[in-house]
Structure 1
């Protein structure tokens, strides 16, 4: 024991303590090799290292195993033992930082030349490379840290070479750098790291993928016409500096082939040309590649600016169905084996083979392409963090995240081990027993057999998740039966199949489907589209058959197809999403309004792809965050308005789908529709205000408040509601006109601005209408100005307003504008509603108004829920009268009819009546929301759309339509009885 004490003392001085135990292939040989390195250390004048390597201990055991298993690392240690010696003075991390600093300074020494820089970079890279590998094999660094260290090293070397070349060009008068001490800044030379470099996931012997652009208008550029030649020449020199082999080795092999059209473009491309290429001719694989793009050297700010410009190309604001189709075709070419057949470990390609690294990367990037346009958090470059984000958003399961993360890092360790043997850019496991044993021991396994079992299980697990990613519904025709639509004659077996699926007129259905397959619509004119639709047809028919009105559903889908300009994307989407197909069948069978939206705007389907859709509540915070992401950036006025229309249309559809699917109840749907209107109308107001000010300036002390009235104010909007608004304004008392080029007096200013707002919100455009606005509830109605000064509003409400106007004020709510003015208006509304009144007079006037409406607008039938005796108007009148005569329990002011009914004072309505009224309102709200969601016109009792009756039963929890109608009659009878009791019986 005493003889080993010096060894222990020496070991404590060594800064890399092994966390893993590796076994040599040949114990005697490995000790001999370590001894040879000790001799080399002695010859280099490194006695402490020589003594240390000659001793015994865990570190020496590790080093002996490492140098036996990796001839590359052994040769580096023999040639440059000083690398090992420096680990007595600093640990690996500190040494890597020092090397990074040395690389960063290499371009700035007085005597630097291209030759000296090449030598310095190679020496620094070799030492860093060696240390990164040693730390990895010793278990000091997890693979996540190893790939980050390798990527940082590549960044540093590339930047040093770029800085040198820029300073050299400056010295020759080819560039005029604003700051030669910070040469990259404003140089206009953009170098994007792609692939694993861009993602900070470089492997041990990796090439680095670069794409090079330049800005000919950058401050450093002297002659924009010469810039292409200049930056291409600099790029060629950069490649030579990094990859030419000298007696000191090489830095990084460099690949420039990911640039646009590499066969016919220069090495450096002007940014404008690149943007035009990507936006006009870019391929989907190039979009996928750009996910990982990162400015690594040169003008980093310009690089970030370029990527920001490119965002709309990479991250589509709508789901690009053609991209999904491309992904499917790529997938079919790659072919997932779904775990069938044994995977041979020997000779397996860890990167490209079954269950390999590429499958995990492809798995992640596919989901990113699909969802990243909608969810910025899914736009990250790194594979494992994106697995976490995909799981957090529900695109993949936690099990898939954990399994793929675990296997990704195992596969990366295997990849590194393969490359550390001889520093070769290979991903293929050895096909010999000894070679496989070597890799197994480098990874800490006892033998090749144990490694092979673990590795094969890993590949199979990756393969299962990867195969599941693109699985369509199991064979689409499975279990459906015979379906033949060729020729002109109906196939008897097909007619039987259709009848069994629920179709009443199978021959008509055959005729319709033959029309699809004969390419009679634009959507099916291409052979590929017809092929996709043929594959999809069995599943479509099965889905439509389950709507109970299968024939009508197919006819609506036929109308949908007739109006589509193209179909490949949609058919691919439905084919790969069985749940989406089922929802499509429900919409076609039950909801003409939604069907019409899909027909006009197929992009609304994008939102349905989000797996979290039915779990996420469309509350104000959710909608606000989505809207902010959708309209972010500097945009032209019309572009902002168009995006608001697109956003509102899409979100109305998605709120409706949630209601249709039962994910939210009708009351929550009403709040969501109203929050959506609040947010988009306020955003429109902001856009209009800013645009109007460009021409007419602003008025001193100007403030605006939007007062939501009617169903917007009570947060009970439906899918088809108009929006009732009052615009109020205020300004400094002495303000006479605005301060713009074309000044206007305040009243004229706000009248014009309000008219501009009405046009912005209500004018029909290619993207539709945001909302139909109704401003008739403003003081003096249609006769008064469209904008009202807040003082005039206050005076009118206190001195001139009719009872019905105060009743309307019960639902008033500030929805946007200046916060302080909104609060002031809310307070004024509350004060007006609290004014003392003659209760008997109010009740009499309300009762007379209701009788007048009943006379002038009699209900069509029982289903005219708003106007029937005992219908919605009765409930709304009861609530509004109770508020303005002070018969609502104290508490925070509420505007929703349901909330007011629940708080009717006991001296106005007893508990039983209050409960009856609340129950009735709940039923009416449910029916109204669902009917307005599904229908654009009136509800025709004798022509209920396919499936709508089922939805109405589901939302009211009643067993059949007859029971529902009976319940509706009884409910309206009770409400009218209560209305008469509470209002008409109390008339003077």
Structure 2
């Protein structure tokens, strides 16, 4: 059956009946159906032996607690003709469908081994699919089926960047699909970091470089070139998309998609990449996938490399529809070079920009005349002072450098940092204020990585630190508020109240506790005030526009806090019949003339049925006392100091008899 389906799909591919991504989707559908059928067969056998009692005998996988995740190309719907299928099998140790005397782990391990055997065991008709179960946590020391609790513990404590990238494409494909979707949701905080994660760039690039070195694919070629893992190949396009999804997907849930081409399209529409890059990479991906398919049709094996000799490439080119090797090579090399260019720009930086950084040893200290001469050539009027300050940084005496990894990241960043500070309006003062900033900074590893990947921001940071000490203090206490400056939306129009509300909802969506909710509210507020202040400094908004923006942020936060406190309070004390509350904005918020330092002048209005003045909760409160307690809770939500400070100071003395 699999061979017949593969033949029909291949004919649709060769004949141009289907576009290449329809071909990959059909191959994936075939794999999913195979896994589901094999698993159902095995579970029905186990049920017949009395080892489990499925609620629905026709669908024994429903409610079984067994989860099969499709990973990689299968998860994304992008399988090729000779793909392995990458699976991870998890199980719920408390699955209620198992017989009382059945131990979950041995049971699910046996089922998983049976699944693998059915799919890849050879018979006279060949095999169905090769199965790879090695993407599971710590495959060298764990069984082929892992309990959900053990997996969550592993990912929380030991999960690595490549595992986060792999989980982008993870999709429940068989077993208890509802439980699988719940697991994917539970893994979201591991995969998608709350803040922009530029550290993922180095991790993913290192992995790609190791793959190329191992396979000997460091140069672009035609003969013998591997179109999957070689330079400019399919894997570079996938890494290009996945890495930027890892960087921004925490702040932008719309980027959390599995298919590569869909990810590229969304990255372009969100301004993380250009539409030109999206179009070029899409065309290259489709072309290279078609090349891969033809190679596998010819060899009937899992190969991604073109033939090593010119005559064989000539024959392949004809099979692919080209008149000659030269015509095929021209298109192939064009796509490979375009892909390699985009990949190198993202992962390896701007070669021209790197070349501009002279080979100066900043570790040599202020006694090195070459360093002094270099600093003077950059425009510093006090190069000796700058050299001495840099030496203090490199000595690592500041609190922020207590972590060796942070210090190492900073040492690598110093040349670009000095070059950026030299572009400030007053370079010498920029060094002084940055030094003061470093002394106040508590944690900086992530900030240094972020700035090293976005070097144009260094001069802007120097401007902020020198011209707006309040903003600099905010940045020193919460460096993650810098994320907003990298977000492409920062360069667009000021967000209105609707857009701010949408962003706030995304920020709060997966908060797991009241305390985390308050922390995220504060971080959102801090970042919003920081970004508005930065726009004022850069001259992109007027004072009046900024006042309105400050008021929009405050209004959105007040609305959110009111809803949160109401939900929490009603859960504890219940409701009073016909109760209603409203918050009246007074002062600067009421007139929409706020500044970054404004307090909130508020009045709480309420009403209820006077004939039924007691709340109906487990802890009942009487009318006036109920709303007095509610108001105290509301004020506390704004003013309680957490790790991220306070939201706003609140003044309610403008009420009657206040």
Q: Give the TM-score band, short-chain normalised.
A: over 0.9
Counterpart CA distance in 2 for 1:297 and 1:320 is 32
Aligned residue among 598, 607, 611 for 2:475: 598
SS at structure 1 position matched to 2:363: coil
Counterpart CA distance in 2 for 1:688 and 1:514 is 51
Q: Which residue of 1 aligns with 2:53?
A: 176
Task: Give the C-alpha shift of residue 324 in structure 1.
Answer: 3.8
Q: Which residue of 2 aligns with 1:796?
A: none
Task: Give the C-alpha shift of residue 655 in structure 1.
Answer: 2.6
Residue 44 (structure 2) pairs with residue 167 (structure 1): yes
Counterpart CA distance in 1 for 2:553 and 2:127 is 59
Counterpart CA distance in 1 for 2:359 and 2:56 is 76
Deviations 1:21-68 (A, max 9, x none): xxxxxxxxxxxxxxxxxxxxxxxxxxxxxxxxxxxxxxxxxxxxxxxx
* Contact 1:645-1:767 at 8 Å conserved across structures: yes
The 5 A counterparts of 1:640-789 are 640-781=517-658
Compute the RMSD of aligned alpha carbons.
2.3
SS at structure 2 position matched to 1:638: helix
Q: Which residue of 2 aligns with 1:383?
A: 260
Q: Which residue of 1 aligns with 2:158?
A: 281
Mark the CA change 1:436 to 1:395 in structure 2 (over 3 Å): closer, same or farther. same
Q: Which residue of 2 aligns with 1:625?
A: 502
* Contact 1:477-1:538 at 8 Å conserved across structures: no
Counterpart CA distance in 2 for 1:632 and 1:527 is 34
Aligned residue among 398, 418, 437 for 1:560: 437
Q: Which residue of 1 aligns with 2:418?
A: 541
Deviations 1:579-623 (A, max 9, x none): 222322222222211111111111112222222321142211211
Counterpart CA distance in 2 for 1:222 and 1:332 is 49
Deviations 1:189-241 (A, max 9, x none): 10000000000000111000000001122332334971111001100000010
The count of corresponding residues between Structure 1 and Structure 2 is 655
Counterpart CA distance in 2 for 1:416 and 1:508 is 62
Aligned residue among 84, 90, 94 for 1:213: 90
* Contact 1:556-1:588 at 8 Å conserved across structures: yes
Task: Give the C-alpha shift of residue 504 in structure 1.
Answer: 4.2
Task: Give the C-alpha shift of residue 317 in structure 1.
Answer: 1.0
Deviations 1:931-984 (A, max 9, x none): xxxxxxxxxxxxxxxxxxxxxxxxxxxxxxxxxxxxxxxxxxxxxxxxxxxxxx
Counterpart CA distance in 2 for 1:169 and 1:225 is 11
Q: Which residue of 2 aligns with 1:355?
A: 232
The 5 A counterparts of 1:214-233 are 214-223=91-100, 226-233=103-110
Deviations 1:288-309 (A, max 9, x none): 0000000011100000000000
Mark the CA change 1:575 to 1:225 in structure 2 (over 3 Å): closer, same or farther. farther
Aligned residue among 280, 283, 290 for 1:413: 290
Q: Which moved more, 1:209-218 or 1:430-439?
A: 430-439
Aligned residue among 243, 253, 257 for 2:120: 243
Task: Give the C-alpha shift of residue 718 in structure 1.
Answer: 1.5
SS at structure 2 position matched to 1:612: helix
Counterpart CA distance in 2 for 1:515 and 1:755 is 48
Task: Give the C-alpha shift of residue 355 in structure 1.
Answer: 0.6
Q: Which residue of 1 aligns with 2:168?
A: 291
Gaps of 5+ in 1: 1-123, 782-988
SS at structure 1 position matched to 2:490: coil
Task: Give the C-alpha shift of residue 181 in structure 1.
Answer: 0.8
Aligned residue among 169, 191, 201 for 1:314: 191
Aligned residue among 136, 140, 143 for 1:266: 143
> Whose Rg is larger?
1
Gaps of 5+ in 2: none
Task: Give the C-alpha shift of residue 464 in structure 1.
Answer: 1.1
Aligned residue among 134, 151, 159 for 1:257: 134
Residue 60 (structure 2) pairs with residue 146 (structure 1): no
The 5 A counterparts of 1:23-62 are none
Q: Which residue of 1 aligns with 2:182?
A: 305
The 5 A counterparts of 1:874-889 are none
SS at structure 2 position matched to 1:209: strand
SS at structure 2 position matched to 1:486: helix
Counterpart CA distance in 2 for 1:461 and 1:562 is 44
Task: Give the C-alpha shift of residue 157 in structure 1.
Answer: 0.5
Q: Which moved more, 1:190-199 or 1:764-773?
A: 764-773
Q: Which residue of 2 aligns with 1:36?
A: none
* Contact 1:193-1:293 at 8 Å conserved across structures: yes
Counterpart CA distance in 2 for 1:738 and 1:127 is 69
Counterpart CA distance in 2 for 1:643 and 1:762 is 14
Mark the CA change 1:435 to 1:486 in structure 2 (over 3 Å): closer, same or farther. closer
Task: Give the C-alpha shift of residue 532 in structure 1.
Answer: 3.8
Q: Which moved more, 1:716-725 or 1:373-382?
A: 716-725
SS at structure 2 position matched to 1:384: helix
Mark the CA change 1:332 to 1:148 in structure 2 (over 3 Å): closer, same or farther. closer
* Contact 1:216-1:227 at 8 Å conserved across structures: yes
Residue 335 (structure 2) pairs with residue 427 (structure 1): no
